[in-house]
Chain A
Amino acid sequence: AQSVTQLDSHVSVSEGTPVLLRCNYSSSYSPSLFWYVQHPNKGLQLLLKYTSAATLVKGINGFEAEFKKSETSFHLTKPSAHMSDAAEYFCVVSYYNQGGKLIFGQGTELSVKP
């Protein structure tokens, strides 16, 4: 079965330092890849998406992700963390041969220390 794996369940960084949230997907036909963020008691919000255009995707709030087919990875990065970035982040994949169903990773909780 197609799947997506988030390699860290929890990441802690200091404010102003870089953020790296790792995601690997199972290899298949051209996937569509997304990162969603979930703040406490709020709905899921789309950060960015990759749909076979440029491999480096820029999203909202300074986040970006790079699609690396050879590594089947789609890691999320941000140069400098802000306190407001503390949230749960989900890597999501969909495959056209599965009807576009969204498959969610288990999530990575990002903590930002002052």
Chain B
Amino acid sequence: GAGVSQSPSNKVTEKGKDVELRCDPISGHTALYWYRQRLGQGLEFLIYFQGNSAPDKSGLPSDRFSAERTGESVSTLTIQRTQQEDSAVYLCASSPQPYSGANVLTFGAGSRLTVL
């Protein structure tokens, strides 16, 4: 597509429920990133995909968080047994280049998660 698409744009869930967030990168972009943005804070790196492998998942905050990617296409971020501190905007980005210091990322509009 023309840009990075994320769904849902908004999700309200109850504490303890599982949620899935989806990211559709720009067609042909091999690299895909997930970031989290808590209210009033900068972006925290979660995980990076090159193709369907994840060379760097150092930012996943706990084993309740997992992500997968199908080929060089859609990625899903899953949060199990959600907690209130998981409330944030989850941003996905993609890039045509492999992981490097000069990466320019194209970001999606984000999925706002609210855990009650």
Contact = CB atoms under 8 A, between A and B. Distances in A.
A and B are interacting partners? yes
B20 interface: no
Contacts of B108: 43
B41 interface: yes
B43 A100 contact: no
B103 A94 contact: yes
Contact of A100 (B103, B107, B110): B103
Nearest to A46: B104
B3 A101 contact: no
Nearest to A6: B42
Given A105-B42, A107-B42, A49 B104 contact: yes
Nearest to A101: B45
B105 A102 contact: yes
Interface residues of B, number: 27
B interface majority secondary structure: loop
Question: Interface size bucket, A side?
Answer: 20 to 34
Interface string B60-103: 00000000000000000000000000000001010000011111
Given A41-B109, A43-B4, A96 B100 contact: yes
Contact of B101 (A43, A45, A94, A105): A94
A107 B44 CA distance: 12
Contacts of B110: 43
Contacts of A31: 101
Contacts of A105: 42
Interface string A72-113: 000000000000000000100011100111111111000000
B49 interface: no
Interface in B1-18: 3-4
6 contacts: A30-B101, A32-B101, A42-B109, A99-B55, A102-B43, A102-B45
